[in-house]
Amino acid sequence: MGQALFIVWRESIEALLVVGILYAWLQRQPDNRLALRHLWAGVALGLTAAAALGAVMLLAGDWLNGSAGEWFQAGMTLCAALLILHMLAWMARHGRSLRGELEDQAGAALREGRYLGLMLLAALAIAREGSETVIFLYGIGARGDPSDLILGALSGLGLGLLCFHLLQRGSRVLGWQLFFRVSEVLLLLLGSAMLMAAMDRASGQLMALELSDYAYGLLGDALWDSSALLDDGSRAGMLIASLTGYRAMPSAFAVTGMALYWSLAWWLLRRPRRGLALAQAHA
Amino acid sequence: MRKSLTWLMVLGLVGTAQAGGLPTYQIDVSDGVFTPARLEVPAGQRFKIIVRNVGQGPIEFESTPLRVEKVLSPGAQSFVVVHPLKPGRYPFFDEFRMDLPEGEIIAR
């Protein structure tokens, strides 16, 4: 029972943080109705996709665990990581309001793209881990006692709603500026974890191909080993790794991907701030 | 989106054609119990693990240091090719059954 609760919580925390933070942010924006509608549409889409993916895992598991399925999952995860950066850049640029964009006629098409991005990010975040929750709950159900399944699902859902509520409270208690900073960091870490997961999957598939030893070295050989500090093979290390993208023995491929991600994040989140400061100085 | 999906599937098909002739090991998982629970592999060499779910419920075969995460429904099987390992111990879990003991790969 306690174990079921923990697994449901762990599998859903990522999606909860993504949706919760986006919701808290949109709540602060004027004229947020359309954006919120897109967010909830994304949630609905994500839940449907999670159930569908779960069914695929159960009925056509060999496909999903085969090469095509692995690339599909890697692609989905990579999309989610990039969408996080895209959303963060948007949030940083319009931390004060969406209105700046709304007044801009030419920005309308762009805005529509952003809303679609918002919807897709919520959907992907939910579909990815949600499908595993579906499988897990199915497993409990299949083991016999359906009351365990119902209890596990309900308590997981309850815990999820509690986290969501705390997140919304947090934005009031911490103050908006601080909450915004903290959620920015949380989303960046989740994006980095997603990118790392996508790279792990991709390199696992590339590993199976006939490549040169040099390529195997880049994909496989650890550049360093920090497992003495934090061992990602331990249970605590594994949890941290799954939420931040930390690896104790990263390959050159992984380190390059991470370096690109964080540089891009720095560049995207830094420029608009300077622009904002400039605008404030002029005002 | 559809374009990139097609692209991914094409890539996937290329991938399936490969990966013969590697040292291959098999791990059977039955509701969180691994057989064998300990595997010795040569260090510095790629190898393939075939994971089979022979139990009643689904499993999630996972190891961060081995860079593997696989959800398998009952009766399903899949393989992973693991990168050349440095000598050492690499634990793996069934993430759906974290209450049970982990398995390990020892690279020598």
CA distances (Å), A88 to each of A25, A49, A115, A138, A194, in order?
11, 24, 13, 35, 15
Structure-block tokens of residue B48: 């393939």
List of chain B residues whose C-beta atoms are within 8 Å of the C-beta of residue A247: 64-65
Structure-block tokens of residue B8: 């991914």
Per-residue pLDDT of chain B (108 residues; tens, 9 = 90+): 455 555 555 444 444 444 457 899 999 999 999 999 999 999 999 999 999 999 988 999 999 999 999 999 888 899 999 999 999 999 999 988 888 999 999 999
Structural domain including B32 reads 21-107
Number of domains making up chain B: 1
List of chain B residues whose C-beta atoms are within 8 Å of the C-beta of residue A209: 14-15, 18-19
Min Cα separation A205/chain B (Å): 7
**CB atoms B58 and A138 under 8 Å:** yes
Q: What angle in degrees, to the nearest 10, is found between the helix axes of A213-220 and A176-207?
A: 150
How many of the other CB atoms lie within 10 Å of CB of A128? 23
pLDDT tens for residues A34-74?
889 999 999 999 999 999 998 988 888 778 888 898 999 99
Min Cα separation A53/chain B (Å): 11
Query: Could you tell me the CATH number of the domain that includes residue B101?
Result: 2.60.40.420
List of chain B residues whose C-beta atoms are within 8 Å of the C-beta of residue A67: 11-16
A85 contact partners, CB below 8 Å, separation of at least 6: A191, A261, A264, A265, A268
Q: Is residue B9 part of a domain?
A: no
Q: Is residue B37 part of a domain?
A: yes
Min Cα separation B85/chain A (Å): 8
Q: Is residue B91 part of a domain?
A: yes
**CB atoms B58 and A210 under 8 Å:** no
Residue A247 is nearest to which of B5, B64, B70, comparing CB atoms?
A: B64
Give me the interface pTM, i.e. the ipTM: 0.81
Q: Is the CB of B81 inside 8 Å of chain A's CB atoms?
A: yes
In the DSSP assignment, the letter for residue B98 is: T
Q: Is residue B1 part of a domain?
A: no
